Structure 1
């Protein structure tokens, strides 16, 4: 047996070697097959059967496969499990390979490398979330981050020192991050759930980047896009190089890059995003997050825009005011808002349809999506009319001017086209004369087949006779074995030519059926060929207007978001916030949008609370005390979320809100360890607190909950006290500081701008009633024992805890355990601690030894002394 691989296996191995690090989907007819290690890994990941095919080096070759028609679902599973997949297609008709000889192999090549950041298929993407591919580059002391969504064309870049990379990755949540070989970012990528891909250093060459980007956008120079640093060019160039590699020359429709100013958005770090559950709940998934609670958009593009706005609230006052004006205008006209939302709900996702068409992965339905989207755009523009609100006026302008393209697509496409081009039937009648003529021949051929079948039944007397078609035999006459005897006998056997016998059927043909088949098949193939040509022309027409179509898509998303905010404001009773450049932070009747939504579902009301952190030249800090379960954490979070909503352009859940621009938002809430890095709960708390103290400026908003709880009481109190002083003296920011250390309330008398506040409770017949009201003042106790009882601790434990608490609160806060043993009834029965035994009296020998000075003894005297001691010992 030869150890040389077969020609087909040799081809597989060669293609596999040229695409390292990826599973190879090797097209064989109607299946993508995998072999060797690829098959073993894929079979385990996909839970499919692992088989064998031939041998290599004396060992069976592992093999598995997936059907081509169902490949997308398998791709999605593999991508989610961290694999990259190279798709090798047949580049020629197998019949052509046969002409070259029996040992010739069908030409195959990789047409696409599927990775987490380069998905475009509708079934592989989340409609309401972006799918970002990011790139981080460092050039000497400069660094930058670029990100692109090839499914929508959005392309952006910003300066980004390594210290800011974590927060930026948390903000964009890219599916894949490109870095130069040797860049150690595995831990950071794992924290944000990002797949890390290393590229050769040449991919990040800033000089080559200019050439790559100019080619990508078809320009001579990048000057028209703005000025970029070398690091920014390097990051963008790496993305362009990676797209060339993965898309194999079929580059996506990418919009010109936009440079984001570093201070253009509210700075929110990864821990704060996680603690506040902005776009994802702590339990995982979207439900329970701020995004889920406020999302009333009716388009996928609008939902993605909402995600971006919540993830990066603006710091541009003019932009914020314009967005609030648009929401106020629509909220003041509920009828118009309802009409807009109804029309928007019928607008497909044009951005992603455009991307698929540009990558040659689109179909007739993507053309229909462009047609439907532009048709709705024209209708929405008419509804808005000559609106004087700038955002809405600009959007209305971008929605118009597409009549020629709409007419073309309307004339060319049927109302409900099929998904795939190869299915045909998507071109409307009377659009192309050649196609109509070919279709008539094809359709009349079907009628002739039906007539011929009736004629053959009459001639043979076989009522079960059918004329059928398959890809192997073409058209054939089929009847049962019993009835076929007549056709096999003279004189019918001269007319009906036997072709095939199966278990229960016999198949025939005739000369006229074969001739008709040729005419019909030619007509069918010609009709498909004409439709493919029409599809290509329509795609070119759409792509020629890709810029204006993309602008219309973005305009629809903007209108959808403003209308959704207006609907939310009217439906929930939210109010327009006042946002300015001051350091004000005054919220009247503030509410937590997520908690309020959950309570409404239960038929319960949310207790609104005020918050005033308005600061002039001094810090403004509220020290919040009160029992667990009273609502301290909810109060902290709701004020942070109100600031985010206001600067994202939304109305807010409050009766009044005056917010001075928040530059940074920091949150240290909740307790969690990080065992993978060897960090305890307390260490995680200290790391996050250190990040706040080292970064917060005087326009920041900081919320801290229970600093110092993870260590000994006095250690924790000391740390919390020092943190408070640092926030006041150094950061000088606006802050909410919740604590159980009641000793800290004395700081309000020492530090200007620090006020005490507490969450009120009431005791009634031994029960604790949580009022959820935040009032000025300090809590007199924590009610921890009562909360423990509510949690279900055994009654005996609760009563015992009350006794111990009473002793401690009676002035014995520093009592030693022995004092508690003496004072508390249960401990009186405890055995006393062991006492040291009394020392026995010294012996005569020991007494004699104490009298001796060894240094003064002669050898003779030392010998005599030994005899004396021996006698004394007895």
Structure 2
């Protein structure tokens, strides 16, 4: 016989069926419980105990649970492991349910669907990074990408052909991507690190999207926000529909949509971002990236703005110049920069506080964040003069909030609690009724203390205590021994017995019950009044949210400018000249990440120049030199120079003149892509093909060791043809590093191609890397020397040297092919191991050194020892 589910389990199953694809957090008192397969999956993911409760279908029901007060930490773990979680709360007091009958079930419903792209809680978010939810839509041949961070309210949309989807996702790094069911975007989403959520066609309907967006913004038409294509409306409408679904009607505060154009920013594809480690190191973390090396922002919104600047450097010359001028003004006024950074460090994250308040997930501390942020904004505005246009404009956005600041100052205590339900956040004197109610509540505590003293005097029981719990309320407690006199006449008429425990007996009196009623009413009334005040304050803040958001953006702008100025001053960076020419001239350029790492070790970084030919012809440097000499570093540092310059920052160089870079391409280093069945060489060729097919005349391309993954002559042929294509078809600026020395001949044949090499020196058979880039070509690659430095056995190194000498001699003699040279070598013959060094007697100086204890020598004794050793060596 099949078990009939209990009413509670029937409710659980109904809610579970209505929310497929998500773990269900089912509220039961102080715990969120999970059952069936949800429990099995959650217990494994969270490493918590899996238990059983009742049966269903004749089988025990798996169950696990997490405490409500600690739910956020468990949610974070589940979200990071790819789960979506539906939160089912109790929608009524259990006492109300009991009024309908003893077997009635407390009403429950899902109040929120937690997904990777819809997080708002401070503990679930990275303060210094955006948490984007993106949507990709296609309407006929038109495609668009929209993205939103509901924790800050920023909504953007842009045209996006499907071929550009991967690069755009790499730029924004969304946590979640919405797409039409069956769109087959799994690989693209996975490569971008985004969870893919597929929605029905109804969610992407462009006509319904207009209605949704108008309702969201409370307008009759979207014309006031600009003109949007059907695909753009579809993408934004899908986001609005998904937010309605996940937030269960509590829509976040979203800024008006902004339409972006790809022409406004430098185009950087996913492979280039990965190779250059712009915001994330190849190891996977932030440390080691360009962003980590340059981030000196002191606010979370400033850090998020900096990441956007580095991810999408501008191509708007006037905007770049405005940003540079602001940095220059702060560089020239070190005192102002220091004062601004000190003041900015006290600014809370107002954007995310506003978002939580709009979603009814905020608390008194979010109100305090707005108060403190606006108060700090006034101080910062007063520091900034009107000399720099960008800073002056930002300062203007920081003022005009006096009425709201005064309201919040008057209403809130200095350090409010986290939750409104706890009370205690409204300042004394703000509301007379609340002050009176609090006085009664607090006076009641004193009355209780006085009443306890009276009862002690009346009974003679010194250990008598008046206590309180949630079950009995206030009660009188004494030990069993002392309770005997209270149970006997005449005290038994006054002290009414309530409960007996193992060692204590509890009583009450009529007076105590009446006092309890008055105190409890005062406590509840005080909390009720505070909750009402909280609602009024939230409404007042949200009414000003557009202007508060504007102030938050202005603070972030000032923070980034001050951070760039502090970086330039501290590291000796210079303001680059950025114009619409084809110039790319760097004097004394340095790699910011490598220099930072070397500085920690106390080692200097060798600066280098780069001067690509100006004019209408292509400008290409063909760079040769050995491995480990610094070719890849040189390539990368010049690419990063363009990123920094167009992000509005100063650059690590003595001088820099950079013509606007429209596209940045990098193919430096490669690895297998086993998931797609691609070898290292295939990955290299795919990335190179993308460059040759897309790079325009305004692009900057850096290529390293093209063709190294195949046979020598194949590789040389490919590398040669690639360089010719860059020169003749793409006609762009490029740095092309290679070990194929035969290619250096191209400098004499192709206008605009120049040879450069990384200098090395040989000394006593050792190769010394100078890390200095010079005009000219390398005569060889020093691969055998590098192999020896890497620790290859000496016999392998000697054999390699022998083979190399034979190949080079044969090549000079005009041999037709390498095979002919190899045929003349004894095959598979290892060089004999080096004989042990012949024993020779120790010299007098060596014997003297054997007896020395260096740690015990004073400076004077060390000097005397040197003279002694010299004398011994000279006999």
1:2–1:687: structure 2 CA closer, same or farther, 3 Å change rule?
closer
- 2:437 is equivalent to residue 435 of structure 1: no
Instruction: Name the structure 2 match of 1:225.
Output: 225
Instruction: Name the structure 1 match of 2:584.
Output: 585
- Cα deviations by residue, 1:228-254 (Å, 9 ceiling, x for unpaired): 000000000111111111111110000
Distance 1:255 1:769 in 2: 58
Instruction: Name the structure 2 match of 1:507.
Output: 506
Contact 1:803 1:824 in 2 (8 A): no
1:338–1:27: structure 2 CA closer, same or farther, 3 Å change rule?
same
Distance 2:56 2:647 in 1: 61
Distance 1:829 1:526 in 2: 94
Instruction: Name the structure 1 match of 2:30.
Output: 30
Instruction: Name the structure 2 match of 1:251.
Output: 251
Contact 2:496 2:509 in 1 (8 A): yes
Distance 2:533 2:831 in 1: 96
5+ residue gaps, structure 1, are 831-874
Instruction: Name the structure 2 match of 1:837.
Output: none
SS of aligned partner of 2:506: strand
1:498 Cα deviation from its structure 2 partner: 2.4
Q: Output aligned runs, 1:796-811, within 5 Å.
A: 796-811=795-810
1:539–1:778: structure 2 CA closer, same or farther, 3 Å change rule?
same
Instruction: Name the structure 2 match of 1:844.
Output: none
Contact 1:268 1:666 in 2 (8 A): yes
Q: Output aligned runs, 1:364-383, within 5 Å.
A: 364-383=364-383
Distance 1:209 1:815 in 2: 67
Instruction: Name the structure 1 match of 2:135.
Output: 135
Contact 2:799 2:830 in 1 (8 A): no
1:782–1:483: structure 2 CA closer, same or farther, 3 Å change rule?
farther
Contact 1:587 1:658 in 2 (8 A): yes
Contact 1:821 1:828 in 2 (8 A): no
Q: Output aligned runs, 1:157-236, within 5 Å.
A: 157-236=157-236
Q: Output aligned runs, 1:351-370, within 5 Å.
A: 351-370=351-370
Instruction: Name the structure 2 match of 1:537.
Output: 536
Instruction: Name the structure 2 match of 1:683.
Output: 682
- 2:262 is equivalent to residue 262 of structure 1: yes
Distance 2:728 2:393 in 1: 46
- Cα deviations by residue, 1:733-771 (Å, 9 ceiling, x for unpaired): 000001111111111111111111000011111211111
SS of aligned partner of 2:112: strand
Distance 1:255 1:760 in 2: 54
SS of aligned partner of 2:143: strand
SS of aligned partner of 1:401: coil
Distance 2:691 2:611 in 1: 21
Larger displacement relative to structure 2 (481-490 or 19-28): 481-490
1:485–1:791: structure 2 CA closer, same or farther, 3 Å change rule?
farther
Distance 1:520 1:828 in 2: 96
1:369 Cα deviation from its structure 2 partner: 0.2
Distance 1:221 1:476 in 2: 64
Q: Output aligned runs, 1:690-769, within 5 Å.
A: 690-769=689-768
Contact 1:253 1:358 in 2 (8 A): yes
5+ residue gaps, structure 2, are 833-875
- Cα deviations by residue, 1:558-608 (Å, 9 ceiling, x for unpaired): 000000001111010100000011110000000000000011111111100
Q: Output aligned runs, 1:812-831, within 5 Å.
A: 820=822, 823-824=825-826, 827=829
For normalisation by structure 2, the TM-score amounts to: 0.93
- Cα deviations by residue, 1:463-494 (Å, 9 ceiling, x for unpaired): 33322211111112223334434433443333
Contact 2:340 2:562 in 1 (8 A): yes
Distance 2:213 2:226 in 1: 13
Distance 1:344 1:314 in 2: 25
- Cα deviations by residue, 1:384-441 (Å, 9 ceiling, x for unpaired): 13x1322111111100000000000000000000000011000000100110000000
Contact 2:613 2:620 in 1 (8 A): no
1:280 Cα deviation from its structure 2 partner: 0.4
Distance 2:818 2:223 in 1: 75
Q: Output aligned runs, 1:527-676, within 5 Å.
A: 527-676=526-675
Instruction: Name the structure 2 match of 1:785.
Output: 784
- 2:342 is equivalent to residue 339 of structure 1: no
Q: Output aligned runs, 1:87-102, within 5 Å.
A: 87-102=87-102
1:482–1:327: structure 2 CA closer, same or farther, 3 Å change rule?
same
- Cα deviations by residue, 1:45-67 (Å, 9 ceiling, x for unpaired): 11111111111111111111111
Q: CA RMSD in A?
A: 1.5
1:456 Cα deviation from its structure 2 partner: 2.4
Larger displacement relative to structure 2 (482-491 or 57-66): 482-491
Contact 2:810 2:821 in 1 (8 A): no
Instruction: Name the structure 1 match of 2:17.
Output: 17
Distance 2:816 2:279 in 1: 46
Larger displacement relative to structure 2 (494-503 or 558-567): 494-503
SS of aligned partner of 1:774: strand
Contact 1:89 1:111 in 2 (8 A): yes
Contact 2:613 2:752 in 1 (8 A): no
1:828 Cα deviation from its structure 2 partner: 9.6
SS of aligned partner of 1:74: helix
1:712 Cα deviation from its structure 2 partner: 1.0
The aligned length equals 829
Instruction: Name the structure 2 match of 1:8.
Output: 8
Distance 2:767 2:691 in 1: 35
